[in-house]
Structures are given as C-alpha cells and as structure tokens.
C-alpha cells in the first residue's frame, strides 16, 4: 500500500505502491505509537499530545494534500466512520488514522496539511508547494 522513499538528501516521504481510492485508511496511527507532551520534528499532534509513529513521521506537508488525519468512530450500525477530532467530546479516546482525502495514484507521495493538526511546529519550515512558512495552525511564528 505504501513505502518510505528517499526524496533528496536528508528527506524521505511516504509513497503509494498502488492506487488508493478516496476514503481508504492508509495508516492506523494508534498502532506502534508513542505519545509525548511536546512536539518533535516528526510527531503528529492529537489534541494536547504528540504522537510518534514511524511511517506517520514520514508523511510530508502539502498545502493541497491527498490525505488527512481523522479518528475512527464506530456507529450503532457497527461500521467504522472517519471523523474530525472536533466531533468528539474533550475526554473521548481518539483512534487516529491517515485517510486518503482523494484518489492517490501509484507512486504518488502521500501528504497532509500540517496546519490542520499542529498548533506549533517544533521546527517551522518553508513549504515546497507554495513557498510559505508553516508554523502550525495558530498562524504565527514561535517566539
């Protein structure tokens, strides 16, 4: 479904190894994860915790991504539904997943928008897609 590949010196990314349909769960981020109280260069913020996941740490930012971070909710019908974290009560246990937000082609890099999850990035950077600085969803440089 995916592989980690070198993009250039010092950078890797997660790439599809076959076509992925919109709505496909790419990664179950709850599996083999560690939660930290502070952000790192590779963590994904889930509310006030920062999740470290090997493959998830290789998903790069894009301003117009092809995937998003959601949580699994099982409905009364017994089926899994993928919804934003805001839909859950503050103390609800979240089960984060990376879901294709549109069809992804074989060989295409899998990306998500860091501003949708990160309040403050540990290492702000200038994005390759539009050249703007990415600091996190609060939109301001860290001081």
Question: How does DSSP assign 63-120, residue by residue?
Answer: SS-SEEEEEEEE-TTS-EEEE-GGGS-TTPPP-EEEEESS-B-TTPEEEE-GGGT-SS
So what's the pLDDT on residue 33? 87
Domain that includes residue 90, residue range: 2-134
Which residue has tokens 């860091």? 114
User: What's the whole-model pTM score?
Assistant: 0.91
CATH code of 82's domain? 2.170.270.10
What is the CA 77 to chain-centroid distance, rounded?
Answer: 27
Counted domains in the chain: 1
Confidence of residue 102 (pLDDT cuts 50, 70, 90): very high
Residues 82 and 72 sit within 8 Å (Cβ to Cβ) = yes
Range list of β-strands (E), 17-66: 25-28, 34-36, 44-46, 49-52, 60-61
Answer whether residue 123 is part of any domain: yes
Tokens found for residue 97: 């997943």
Q: Decide if 52 is inside a domain.
A: yes
40-93 per-position pLDDT tens digit:
999 999 999 999 999 999 999 999 999 999 999 888 999 999 999 888 888 888
């Amino acid at each position: 479904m995916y592989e980690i590949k070198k993009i250039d010196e010092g950078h890797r990314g997660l790439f599809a190894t076959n076509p992925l349909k919109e709505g496909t769960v790419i990664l179950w981020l709850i599996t083999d994860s560690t939660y930290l109280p502070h952000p790192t260069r590779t963590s994904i913020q889930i509310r006030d915790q920062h999740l470290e996941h090997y493959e998830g740490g290789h998903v790069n930012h894009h301003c117009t991504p092809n995937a998003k971070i959601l949580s699994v909710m099982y409905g009364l019908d017994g089926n899994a539904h993928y919804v934003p974290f805001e839909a859950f009560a503050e103390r609800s246990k979240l089960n984060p997943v990376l879901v294709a937000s549109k069809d992804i082609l074989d060989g295409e890099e899998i990306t998500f928008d860091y501003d949708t999850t990160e309040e403050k990035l540990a290492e702000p950077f200038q994005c390759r897609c539009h050249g703007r600085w990415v600091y996190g969803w609060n939109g301001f440089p860290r001081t």
